[in-house]
């Protein structure tokens, strides 16, 4: 018998995978000082961090409650969206046109003329200050993904940061400092990304 194909947002899976992810117990995740989220254990366990917490010898394995007091609810919400759908807003969509552009434009200099085609924020005509805030938000998502050990999300964030286009010097330093202070660059990918961004910073006149 052929397994039924199911769709949940951007997540496509078969019946066995559906049972593994969605027919599991709900886990409480308290983020920051007061926000509480509920998510399926099978979904959270895509994260190495959550998988260890919920299936190891830690207190969370008994209480089914995970505390993230130092993290921002808004940022965790985007991570949770990724865990369920393998994307987070604003979504790339990955149409054929988008994929072609993503494959072609890999450096900040190249992206500068096309970033409005693939905005990294909501809306089609972002201002420079909006782009800076969006880039910092993506950076925060990257660092939380690093903490939760979600390599796929980190790669997606880097793609979206590239699509933000070159940042002004001070904005770049803010984003770069946050990334370097709140994540570990084990494979050098973050360093390579930041190095490529340096040459794309607009020069002062």
Q: List the chain pLDDT tens, one digit each, 205 residues.
A: 333 323 344 444 454 555 566 678 999 999 999 899 999 999 999 999 999 999 988 899 899 999 999 999 999 999 999 999 999 988 886 544 444 544 444 444 334 434 433 445 555 555 666 888 999 999 999 999 999 999 999 999 999 988 887 777 778 889 999 999 999 887 788 888 888 766 555 444 4
Predicted TM-score of the model (pTM): 0.74
What does DSSP say about strands 65-68 and 26-31: parallel, antiparallel, or unpaired? Answer: parallel
DSSP one-letter code for 202:
P
C-alpha dihedral, 22 to 152 to 178 to 140, nearest 10°: -30
Long-range CB contacts (within 8 A, 24+) of 44-47? 44/83, 46/83, 46/150, 47/83, 47/148, 47/149, 47/150
In angstroms, the Cα distances linking 125 to 18, 130, 160 are 39, 10, 16
Q: Helix, strand, or coil here: 115?
A: coil
- Sequence-separated (6 or more) residues with CB below 8 Å from residue 89: 78, 81, 122
The domain spans of the chain are 1-73, 90-205
| Integer-rounded Cα radius of gyration of the chain | 18
């Amino acid at each position: 018998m052929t397994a039924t194909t199911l769709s949940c947002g951007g997540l496509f899976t078969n019946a066995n995978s559906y049972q593994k992810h969605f027919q599991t117990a709900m886990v409480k995740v308290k983020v920051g000082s007061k926000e509480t989220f509920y998510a399926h254990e099978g979904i959270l366990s895509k994260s190495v961090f959550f998988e260890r917490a919920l299936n190891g010898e830690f207190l969370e394995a008994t209480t089914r409650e995970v505390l993230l007091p130092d993290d921002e609810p808004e940022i965790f919400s985007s991570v949770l969206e990724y865990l369920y759908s393998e994307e987070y807003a604003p979504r790339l969509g990955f149409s054929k046109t988008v994929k072609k552009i993503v494959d072609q434009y890999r450096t900040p200099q190249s992206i500068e003329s096309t970033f409005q085609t693939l905005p990294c924020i909501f809306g089609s005509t972002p201002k420079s200050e909006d782009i800076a805030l969006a880039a910092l938000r993506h950076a925060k998502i990257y660092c939380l993904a690093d903490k939760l050990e979600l390599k796929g999300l980190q790669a997606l964030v880097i793609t979206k940061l590239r699509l933000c286009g070159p940042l002004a010097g001070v904005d770049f330093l803010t984003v770069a400092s946050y990334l370097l202070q709140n994540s570990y660059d084990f494979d050098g990918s973050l360093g390579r990304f930041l190095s490529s961004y340096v040459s794309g910073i607009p020069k002062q006149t």
